[in-house]
Amino acid sequence: MCEECFHIRVFTALMLSIEKCQAEHSEKIQEKQKSIKKEAEGLVKALEQEMDKLTNRRRELTHLHLLQSFQSLNPPPPSWDWTKVELSHPSYAGTLRRALDPLSLMYIGSHSKRLSQPEACPLATSSQLSLGMASPSSLLSAENFSCSICLEVFASPVTLPCGHNFCKACITTCWDGDVQYRCPMCKECFNTRPELRVNTFISELAQQVRVLCVEDELKSLQQHEVDLTLDPDTAYHKLILSQDGKQVHDGDKMKRPRRNPKRFSQFAFVLTKQSFSSGRFYFEVQVKEKTHWGLGVVSESINRKRFLAASPEYGFWIIWLHNGNEYKAFCNPRVPLSLRTKPQKVGVFVDYDEGQVSFYDVESRVHIYSFTGCTFREPIYPFLGPHLSYDGENSAPMIISPVNQRH
């Protein structure tokens, strides 16, 4: 489809939608005006009735014999304080906003994905018009921004010549095992392998969709918040814990704590007093201004006295920050994590029975990583690894923070 035909098509669809919006919202505005007029007529009638009562009262008082027996008169009829009566002025800003938002999103959708059938009618179909009239929140949904191969929200989306969108990694893997280069959706074949460039526009929208999805997901997970306190009997001997057991940082001085089989003797780790053997739980930890930290959950029986092979096979389900910007999930092998922003507060959700441990950037509303298919055979403990500080660097504490839900 040529560029001019495409724009004519979009413009025609927009004009039809605008006319439909105009008719619908004109009715709403007229209904508002009728309601305001009816309210005003009611107030005028009430005012006229009160004026009639006052006029009659004045006539009665003109008679001398009534004036002489004034004390025996009935009290004057109650009257309204008309200075406080207001006639609300209708505002159509919300009505117009609701009308224009779907139109702008419809144009965005049309611009980002052209129809692949050249013989289609240049006017928008009824289903497209209904999509254009949908609410912005329904258009910015995971369903509308999901790759049809992996069924997840687009990651580095690319647009094929036929107009369909896929994750770059998904379509690359699909074509690497296929002699023909064709679209998995419409089956259109391409003579040469199309150049795959990330569609930055769709990529940005997909990122917004991910944030919206995580926003809803977090609100649900935060209902499982638990109250945690750090266990000083497990803390590495250089770590300092706050009196309330919510903060931990490197004290930069050697201590001689009592020997305890629960204490970490080689690494700057600490566990909580609380352990979990079933169900779901969620907690948040502030990691602001730190250059090194570790966070997650561990099995009760992990080795605390010598070098640790930190991975799920040895009872560790943790993520780690190293050198200020290197994030990794401690699997075997390690999994590098690519984060757009540096998390200031990390949320950890655990479903013991389903074998899941998930991490979230709370403030950016981004899912960081999930361990799935975990096998928990014993109690597990929330784990904090503040790491040591060097010349004042990484001296900020890790803080177990209460959940502050967004509304």
Residues 127 and 149 in one domain: no
The pLDDT of residue 372 is 92
Residues 115 and 260 in one domain: no
What are 158-195's pLDDT values in tens digits? 999 888 999 888 888 888 866 678 888 888 888 888 88
Whether pLDDT at 117 is above 50? no
What are 218-246's pLDDT values in tens digits? 888 999 999 999 999 999 989 999 999 99
Domain end (from 181, 216, 251): 216
Residues 115 and 155 in one domain: no
- Using DSSP's 3-state secondary structure scheme, residue 283 falls into strand
The pLDDT of residue 119 is 39
Residue that is written with structure tokens 């997970």 in the block: 221
Highest average pLDDT, of 121-130, 255-264, 377-386, comes from 377-386
The pLDDT of residue 282 is 97
Residues 288 and 246 in one domain: yes
The region of weakest confidence among 24-28, 30-34, 180-184, 247-251 is 24-28
Residues 165 and 264 in one domain: no
Q: Give the contacts of 245 (CB within 8 A, at least 6 positions apart).
A: 229, 230, 231, 232, 273
Residues 245 and 185 in one domain: no
Is residue 41 included in any domain, yes or no? yes
Question: Which residue has better confidence, 118 or 56?
Answer: 56
Which CATH number do you get for residue 148? 3.30.40.10
75 half-sphere exposure, CB direction, 13 A CA radius: 3
Residue that is written with structure tokens 């009566």 in the block: 85
The pLDDT of residue 76 is 59
Radius of gyration of the chain (CA): 34
Residues 267 and 393 in one domain: yes
Is residue 116 included in any domain, yes or no? yes
Q: How far is CA 260 from the centre of its chain?
A: 43
Is residue 88 included in any domain, yes or no? no
The pLDDT of residue 81 is 65
Q: Could you tell me the pLDDT band of residue 105, with boundaries at 50, 70 and 90?
A: very low
Is residue 78 included in any domain, yes or no? no
**How far apart are alpha carbons 248 and 232 in whole angstroms?**
10
Residues 340 and 277 in one domain: yes
Q: Is 235 exposed, middle or buried (0-12, 13-18, 19+ CB in 10 A)?
A: buried
The pLDDT of residue 77 is 60
Q: Could you tell me the pLDDT band of residue 406, with boundaries at 50, 70 and 90?
A: low
Domain, as residue range, for 271: 225-401
The pLDDT of residue 381 is 98
Residues 177 and 303 in one domain: no
The pLDDT of residue 79 is 63
Q: Is 132 exposed, middle or buried (0-12, 13-18, 19+ CB in 10 A)?
A: buried
Q: Burial letters for 169-201: b for 16+ Cβ neighbours within 10 Å, e otherwise?
A: ebbeebbeeeeebbbbeeeeeeeeebebeebee
The pLDDT of residue 299 is 96
Query: What's the structural domain count of the chain?
Result: 3
Residues 23 and 102 in one domain: yes
Q: Backbone phi, then psi, for 75, in 5-degree steps?
A: -60, 150
Which among 232, 9, 225, 265 has a CA at the least distance from the CA of 113?
9
Our separate counts of H helices and E strands in the chain read: 7, 17
Residues in the chain: 407
Please give the model's pTM, rounded to 2 decimal places: 0.57
Q: Backbone phi, then psi, for 63, in 5-degree steps?
A: -80, 130
